[in-house]
């Protein structure tokens, strides 16, 4: 493959926005990020403004392209969901199973291991959001399937972590002991607290045991109060990572702005999207319940939010335009920060010589203009 020279846009390298730079790509790998030299020989690709960024990473993806991660998931399902999100700008995702049966968990693990072994483009590992949650903060999760963690669950997840590139687990400390959290962390699982009504002190105990992340900050968790900081307060007060659904619905723009002023690092964007992503579906079934799509909201029949109708470019736009966060920080929240959370920085999240050329070109309105995976335009 000849040298490709992508120029004519600001370049975000994972940390900074650079003016007057070009990204050189050869054989699917970044050859250089350097000041644009018009005398370079190669195929010049004029981008016409906007921003050229590392393609995004989404660590909470329940589905896409009309498919959900669930009890019938197989390798083909994961391949199709990953392909959908590549078109939406994400070079890598964690397909996410929300609260379900042990049999569904085992099936998704098997499919994930197969996806890892076959090197499915865009597959970074798995995320299990539940079933070890707090019923008081169940959100759209099926309360009949929420249950405490057992030694068998820990063994299954620790074994899976050895076979997967990354494994994230959302638990409530009410349903998973400090001993469980420590064992999972030692096995390489990224333990994230969420769907919990725990106290600040209990959250800190889970953190001391090894939990180092929080799932969709503010949503389905005990809130920051004047006498009880809750899980939300513990996240803002500690050196934790935290996912954030920035659709302007799950968290108000003012709250986004306050939280990002209080917590200046570690917050990353997630879509929390459902099967609707990349499709024109109006409704789906979730564990026997109907989820409706209307005016940017996904809700159960009782009005409970059930995931988000969101892509990461849309989330970046909300963070920049409504929460008034500078573009470089907003882009970090979808690239280098999530890459760091799951230990994937060697390939993802940055533009630098020797890294895979996973790229996204954003127009001035934050809409996607083009996506490349390993140098190939999607």
Does 188 lie in the same domain as 309?
yes
Report the alpha-carbon distance of residue 242 to residue 168 in Å, rounded.
Answer: 12
Does 180 lie in the same domain as 37?
no
Identified catalytic residue from 36, 58, 197, 272? 272
The pLDDT score that the predictor gives to residue 42 is 87
Coil, strand or helix at 171: strand
In this model, does residue 288 exceed pLDDT 90? no
Does 155 lie in the same domain as 119?
yes
Half-sphere exposure of 99 (CA within 13 A, CB side): 27
**What CATH number is given to the structural domain containing 38?**
2.30.40.10
* H-helix or E-strand spanning residue 339: helix 336-341
Q: Backbone phi, then psi, for 56, in 5-degree steps?
A: -85, 165
Report the alpha-carbon distance of residue 89 to residue 108 in Å, rounded.
Answer: 24
The pLDDT score that the predictor gives to residue 376 is 95
Does 239 lie in the same domain as 366?
no
- Mean pLDDT (whole number) for 183-211: 98
Does any domain span residue 346? Answer: no
Among 162-171, 260-269, 286-295, 358-367, the minimum mean pLDDT is found in 286-295
What is the pLDDT confidence band of residue 286, given thresholds at 50, 70 and 90? Answer: confident
Question: Is 275 in contact with 64 (CB distance < 8 Å)?
Answer: yes
| The pair of three-digit structure tokens given for residue 313, joined into one six-digit string | 């470019």
Does any domain span residue 347? Answer: no
**What CATH number is given to the structural domain containing 293?**
3.20.20.140
Does 198 lie in the same domain as 160?
yes
> What pLDDT digit, counting tens, does each position of 365-377 carry?
999 999 999 999 9
pTM over 0.85: yes
Report the alpha-carbon distance of residue 124 to residue 118 in Å, rounded.
Answer: 12
Does any domain span residue 272? Answer: yes
How many domains does the chain contain in total? Answer: 2
Does 290 lie in the same domain as 149?
yes
Does 323 lie in the same domain as 252?
yes
Q: In whole numbers, what is the pLDDT of the chain averaged over residues? A: 96
Report the alpha-carbon distance of residue 324 to residue 133 in Å, rounded.
Answer: 33
- Mean pLDDT (whole number) for 269-275: 97
Portion of the chain with pLDDT greater than 90, in percent: 96
Report the alpha-carbon distance of residue 100 to residue 130 in Å, rounded.
Answer: 8
Does 364 lie in the same domain as 299?
no
The pLDDT score that the predictor gives to residue 1 is 57
What is the pLDDT confidence band of residue 304, given thresholds at 50, 70 and 90? Answer: very high
Count H helices, E strands: the chain? 10, 23
Half-sphere exposure of 277 (CA within 13 A, CB side): 34
Q: Backbone phi, then psi, for 237, in 5-degree steps?
A: -90, -10
Residue with tokens 């669930």: 70
In this model, does residue 50 exceed pLDDT 70? yes
User: What domain range is 146 assigned to?
Assistant: 56-341
Does 62 lie in the same domain as 43?
no
Report the alpha-carbon distance of residue 144 to residue 181 in Å, rounded.
Answer: 23
Does any domain span residue 106? Answer: yes
In this model, does residue 184 exceed pLDDT 70? yes
Among 35-39, 61-65, 91-95, the minimum mean pLDDT is found in 35-39
Does 272 qualify as catalytic in the annotation? yes
Among 30-44, 78-92, 254-268, the minimum mean pLDDT is found in 30-44
Strand partners, 371: 360
Report the alpha-carbon distance of residue 96 to residue 15 in Å, rounded.
Answer: 27
The pLDDT score that the predictor gives to residue 67 is 97
Does 79 lie in the same domain as 10?
no
What is the pLDDT confidence band of residue 214, given thresholds at 50, 70 and 90? Answer: very high
In this model, does residue 39 exceed pLDDT 90? no
């Amino acid at each position: 493959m000849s040298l490709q020279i992508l120029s004519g846009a600001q370049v975000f390298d994972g940390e900074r926005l650079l003016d007057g730079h070009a990204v050189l790509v050869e054989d699917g790998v970044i050859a250089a990020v350097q000041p644009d030299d018009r005398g370079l020989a190669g195929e010049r690709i004029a981008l016409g403004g906007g921003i050229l960024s590392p393609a995004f990473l989404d660590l909470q993806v329940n589905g896409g392209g009309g498919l959900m991660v669930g009890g019938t998931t197989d390798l083909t399902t994961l391949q199709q969901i990953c392909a959908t999100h590549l078109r939406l700008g994400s070079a890598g995702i964690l397909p996410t199973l929300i609260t379900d049966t042990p049999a569904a968990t085992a099936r998704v693990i098997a499919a994930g291991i197969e996806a890892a072994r076959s090197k499915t483009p865009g597959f970074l590992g798995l995320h299990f959001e539940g079933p070890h949650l707090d019923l008081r903060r169940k959100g759209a999760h099926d309360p009949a399937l929420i249950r405490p963690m057992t030694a068998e669950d820990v063994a299954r997840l620790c074994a899976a972590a050895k076979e997967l590139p990354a494994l994230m687990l959302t638990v409530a400390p009410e349903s998973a002991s400090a001993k469980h959290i420590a064992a999972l962390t030692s096995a390489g699982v990224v333990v994230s607290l969420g769907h919990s009504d725990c106290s600040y002190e209990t959250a800190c105990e889970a953190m001391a045991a090894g939990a180092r992340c929080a799932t969709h900050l503010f949503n389905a968790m005990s809130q920051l109060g004047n006498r009880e900081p809750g899980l939300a307060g513990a996240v803002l007060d500690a050196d934790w990572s935290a996912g954030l659904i920035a659709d302007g619905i799950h968290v108000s723009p003012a709250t986004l702005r306050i939280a990002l002023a209080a917590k200046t690092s570690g917050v990353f964007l997630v879509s929390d999207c459902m099967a609707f992503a990349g499709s024109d579906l109006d409704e789906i079934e979730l564990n026997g319940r109907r989820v409706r799509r209307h005016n940017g909201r996904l809700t159960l029949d009782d009005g409970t939010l059930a995931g988000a109708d969101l892509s990461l470019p849309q989330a970046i736009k909300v963070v920049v335009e409504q929460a008034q966060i500078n573009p470089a920080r907003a882009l970090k929240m979808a690239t280098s920060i999530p890459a760091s959370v799951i230990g994937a920085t060697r390939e993802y999240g940055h533009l630098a010589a020797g890294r895979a050329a996973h790229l996204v070109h954003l127009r001035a309105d934050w809409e996607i203009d083009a996506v490349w995976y390993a140098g190939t335009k999607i």
